[in-house]
A and B are shown apart, each in its own frame.
Chain A
Amino acid sequence: MRRGDVGPAGGLLSAKMRTYGFIVSFLAIPLALYVVFVISPYIQAFYISLTNWKGISANPRYIGFENFGRLLDDEVFWAAVRHHGLLLLAMPLITIAIALFFSFLLNLGGGTGGGRLTGVWGARFYRVVYFFPQVLAVAVVGVLFQAIYRPDGTGVLNGLLAAVGLGPVGWLTDTGLALWAIMAVVVWQSVGFYVVLFSAGMSAIPRDVFEAAALDGAGRFRLFFSITLPLIWDTIQVGWVYLGIAAFDCFALVQVLSVDRGGPDNATTVLPLEIWRTAFTFSKFGYASAMGVALFFLTITFAALSLRVTRRERIEF
């Protein structure tokens, strides 16, 4: 600010404006984009969910909460919600457990035998290998696992089973098994990312803390549960939220991999897939929007809950 330009009061005001102007200039564009491409479609979806719009007419008819009433009796919708519940419970748990196990081995599993705490032999190589599925496109993964899960002897898994004299298993065609088979693929694909995430968390723990624990008498088991786990708890929470959000999606993989898109007999269907099908195959945009609104509330409930539950005192090193 140049001296003598303005009085003290004016100076204060313009300084304030300058500060806000600076902030606004940063916020304006992303905020505008967010409003146009996120908030406004949501609002539209809320409106469309209250109509019987088929995607053609310019003036859809307002039908109140009729769509939502139908949702309550829709078996397929509830099947999809159940699948999300299952994915939400099992998938993060399995993924995080496996990723923690691997990252502990890669970073500290070598033990103190070689002097300093190190990972198992070849840790760097394994880290790359674990991360590899993460960079594959979902479509590629889908095709890959179709080959693995093929129901006859030419499938990788059934081929192996046949070799030991067991009959073929309908991995994707058995209604009790299909969702688990797909969940296994999701886990397979995401573990690598969380190995990297948790490895970063573990390498942020000062080495001498582990050494002090080793001197205090902690074995590998204790080192993991009493030192490592509490100290990367923050990172695990982040992972859990990511995976929980991913559990509400799974659209692409189910679409590519499952029999009959969500089959057999809706045994693997998920809400995004149902929304897509209802809207673009059956042209029931109003009803699809109602599903979308339901999904919106499911997701936001999960996000609010997880933020509430996982809030904890931060650990400082």
Chain B
Amino acid sequence: MASIVLRNVDKIYAGGVKAVNGLNLEIRDGEFMVLVGPSGCGKSTALRMVAGLEDISGGEILIGDRVVNHLPPKDRDIAMVFQNYALYPHMTVEENLAFGLKLRKMPKAEISKRVQEAAKMLGLEQYLKRKPAALSGGQRQRVAMGRAIVREPQAFLMDEPLSNLDAKLRVSMRASLNQMHERLGVTTVYVTHDQVEAMTLGDRVCVLRDGILQQVDTPQNLFESPVNLFVAGFMGSPSMNFVNAELVRDDAGAAVAFAGYKLPVPDSTFAEKPGLDAYLGKKLILGIRPSDFEDAASASGHSGGWAHIPTRAEVTEELGSEINVLFLIDAPPVEHRDTVAAQDTGDDEEGVLPLVGDKSLWTARVNARSHVRPGQSIELVVDTHNFHYFDTDSGLAIGHPANVGR
């Protein structure tokens, strides 16, 4: 096992396209690091550079304490799981698992021991004599996993390994991946475009956009304090609601005003977000997570810090345990390059209604006990402590530790 360090890594393709731009990333020994971002953000390229399948245009990559820039893939002591599994179609499962070991001149007894162990761990024992063509997608995926495991490498690299599986299988494979990492404790770099996968799998998650690192942190921190509009919009499903607002202060205290609403800003917020007071009387972008809303009727117990928003539900999505309430805010949608980029490849479960006009469609996630129906009026409350504030120009989160003084 080893740590993986990327120092100012660049990847420039012919034609000058910068797929990865000055990437600095330290993956600790035994850590599960997820690289996430919309397609074309350079996450796969970064992974392939670690694997040695792509040249490194600039900077250096270390695995353990070795600089591996010029080592061929086979000498980097890593194993990779591909999106399309990349099994050898002419070999049986057993031969697939053993191939890498055979090439490394391992004694036969040791090979068969390791193959048996891996097969047992992945439940592949009865398929060892089959060819990949005779396996289901999930089974092939496990063989690909097994091929990585038997090698006992310094690190696992996984390039969207679950994206070819159906939704249900993906969830169960996600769980077994977690278990496997728990058990083997091997450093893992995992690439995905699915932010749910990123949140559930990663010890830490690295968000990339256009080859530039946006934020690296634990899933919880990414969710609670995104560093900029892009991360805020990309992480979390349904995605964060944005609106252009103005920060004001009057006799009643500080408040954000937008679309006819005026929601109080608690004093504690100014303490938590240094620099926010400089925006008093100025425009900023307000972000509210759908999960910070609640139906006033079923949230009667809440007291301080909750503001009321009376509105009308346009669409409701009942998810069983929760209901997504889509409602209109009388303000034009935020047209910042970061929010647009995050929306492009977001989960796109909320199709943009063409009828919205210059209003923005917001989502509130409320308890299923709220029996709101489309077209009904609903009184929403929102937790004002969890508001996110972003600069209108830079898109950076105001008062985020990484942005203070920037």
Contact = CB atoms under 8 A, between A and B. Distances in A.
B318 interface: no
Contacts of B104: 217
Contact of A227 (B51, B52, B74, B88): B88
Contacts of A115: 48, 53-55
A215 B55 contact: no
A112 B53 contact: yes
A316 B133 contact: yes
B78 interface: yes
Nearest to A209: B86
B263 interface: no
Given A112-B73, A215-B74, A216-B99, A208 B89 contact: no
B103 A218 contact: yes
* Chain B contact residues, majority secondary structure: loop
Interface in A80-105: none
A222 B103 contact: yes
Interface in B56-106: 72-74, 78-80, 82-84, 86-90, 99-100, 103-104
A315 B89 contact: yes
B90 A216 contact: no
A167 interface: no
A315 B134 CA distance: 11
Interface string A208-246: 110111111111001000110011010000000000000
Most chain B CB within 10 A, of A206, A214, A217, is at A217
Contacts of B84: 206, 208
Contacts of B55: 114-115
A116 interface: yes
A219 to B, nearest CB: 8
Interface string B5-18: 00000000000000
Given A216-B74, A217-B103, A211 B53 contact: yes
Contacts of B151: 216
B53 A214 contact: yes
Interface residues of B, number: 28
Nearest to A226: B99
Contact of B73 (A214, A222, A233): A214
Interface size class of A (residues with CB under 8 A): 20 to 34
Given A217-B74, A227-B88, A231-B89, A212 B54 contact: no
Given A116-B53, A214-B53, A216-B99, A208 B72 contact: no
A317 interface: yes
Contact of A216 (B54, B103, B131): B103
Contacts of B72: 112, 214
A226 B73 CA distance: 18
A315 B72 CA distance: 29
Given A112-B52, A112-B73, A115-B55, A217 B100 contact: yes
B86 A315 contact: no
Contacts of B83: 208
A217 B52 CA distance: 12
A229 to B, nearest CB: 9
A113 to B, nearest CB: 8
Contacts of B87: 209, 212
B74 A214 contact: yes
A215 B103 contact: no
A188 to B, nearest CB: 32
Interface string A104-121: 000000001011100000
Nearest to A313: B131
A117 to B, nearest CB: 9
B80 A215 contact: yes
A212 B89 contact: no
Nearest to B95: A226
Contacts of B133: 315-316
Contacts of B74: 214-219
B118 to A, nearest CB: 14
A99 B99 CA distance: 27
Contact of B82 (A208, A217, A219): A208
Contacts of B99: 213, 216, 226
A136 to B, nearest CB: 36
Given A114-B55, A218-B103, A212 B90 contact: no
Contact of B100 (A209, A216, A230): A216
Most chain A CB within 10 A, of B73, B83, B84, is at B73
A28 B79 CA distance: 58
Given A112-B52, A115-B54, A316-B133, A213 B88 contact: yes
Nearest to B151: A216
Contacts of A226: 99
A115 B84 CA distance: 19
Nearest to A207: B86
Given A214-B73, A215-B80, A116 B54 contact: yes
Contacts of A216: 74, 99-100, 103, 147, 151
Would you list the 6 A-B pairs with minimal beta carbon distance, nearest first? Answer: A216-B100, A316-B133, A208-B86, A212-B86, A217-B103, A217-B74
Interface of B: 48, 51-55, 72-74, 78-80, 82-84, 86-90, 99-100, 103-104, 131, 133, 147, 151
Interface of A: 112, 114-116, 206, 208-209, 211-219, 222, 226-227, 230-231, 233, 315-317
Given A217-B100, A222-B103, 10 more contacts: A208-B84, A211-B53, A211-B73, A211-B80, A211-B86, A215-B79, A215-B80, A215-B100, A227-B88, A231-B90
29 contacts: A112-B52, A114-B55, A115-B53, A115-B54, A116-B53, A116-B54, A208-B82, A208-B84, A209-B89, A211-B53, A211-B82, A211-B86, A212-B80, A212-B86, A213-B88, A214-B72, A214-B73, A215-B73, A215-B79, A215-B80, A216-B74, A216-B99, A217-B103, A217-B104, A218-B103, A222-B103, A226-B99, A315-B90, A316-B89
